[in-house]
Amino acid sequence: MDRNKILKWFKEPGKMGHKYSLSAIYFCTGCGIIEVPPVITTRWDAERFGVIPVATPRHANLFLITGYVSIKTLKAIIKTYEMMPDPKFVIGFGSCPINGGMYWDSYNTIKHLDKYIPVDGWIAGCMPRPEAIFIGVTHLWTLIDKEMADGYKKYKEKYKYYRENQEKVLGKLEWEPLFPLEEKEDVK
């Protein structure tokens, strides 16, 4: 271990823990998921960076959106995202979640993912190389250090707008709002 970081570990153990043990939810959206098996197995071995895949969203704190997002997939993504415990980080992987990519004029693909859930970082490319995931992860470390990876806080603050955007595309959502939509008045 780097001795210079020992002080940091004592100061902010929680943050350092989150930073070096990212559990990625193994959720397959679109074609980018084909890059993930070599990344997590021996060829590129993501555990060097502390990233491991987990089975359920309840255990995860890193969400990779790997490819185009159709309307049905968006619903599953929102459900999965809301199930994950805080703190949680979202990375958009590939061109399609950024601005639609090659599906920019499709009738069934939402173009900008960050209108519906907060996204902390993007990895551009079609397809990005597996090394790009590691570059993304190291950038995410920097963001966590500087407390700039605050998408989950933003989701709580602006939940009203996110929910309105989601309902505009998906129609009435059948589950209860995650956070209260109306701001409570202070009790005097």
Partner 1 sequence: MNINKLQEEIRNVFKNVVSKVGKDNRIFLNVQKEQTLNILSFLKNNGFDHLALISCVDWIKENQFEIVYILTSYLLDDERSKTHIILKAKISRKNPEIMSVLPIFENAEFYEREIHELFGVVFNGNNRLIPLFLYRKYEIPPFRKDFDTREYSKNFYDSVLPVEDREK
> Is there binding between residue 105 and partner 1 (CB under 8 A)?
yes
Taking the CB of residue 67, how many other CB atoms lie within 10 A of it? 25
Pairing type for strands 62-66 and 89-93 reads: parallel
Strand partners, 63: 25, 90
- Minimum CB distance to partner 1, residue 71 (Å): 4
108 lines the binding site for partner 1 (CB under 8 A): yes
> At its nearest, how many Å lie between partner 1 and the CB of residue 45?
37
Interaction between residue 145 and partner 1 (CB under 8 A)? no
| Tokens, residue 187 | 């009790």
Q: Looking at 8, 15, 111, 156, which residue binds partner 1 (CB under 8 A)?
A: 111
Per-residue binder mask for partner 1 (CB under 8 A), 32-61, x = binder: ------------------------------
Which tokens is 46 given?
């993501």
Any contact of residue 162 with partner 1 (CB under 8 A)?
Answer: yes
Integer angstrom CA distances of residue 24 from 13, 36, 42, 45, 105: 20, 10, 17, 14, 30
C-alpha–C-alpha distance, residues 124 and 32, integer Å: 11
Instruction: Point out which span in 11-19, 38-46, 108-116, 145-153 binds partner 1 (CB under 8 A).
Output: 108-116
Q: Which stretch binds partner 1 (CB under 8 A): 31-39, 90-98, 114-122, 177-185?
A: 114-122
**Does position 139 bind partner 1 by CB under 8 A?**
no
Answer for which of 8, 23, 54, 75 binds partner 1 (CB under 8 A) is: 75
Q: Does 79 bind partner 1 (CB under 8 A)?
A: no
- Rank residues 127 and 170 by Cβ distance to partner 1 and give the closer one: 170
Length of the chain: 188
**Quick check: 173 binds partner 1 (CB under 8 A)?**
no
Binding site for partner 1 (CB under 8 A): 71-72, 75, 100, 104-112, 114-115, 118, 154, 158, 161-162, 164-165, 168-171
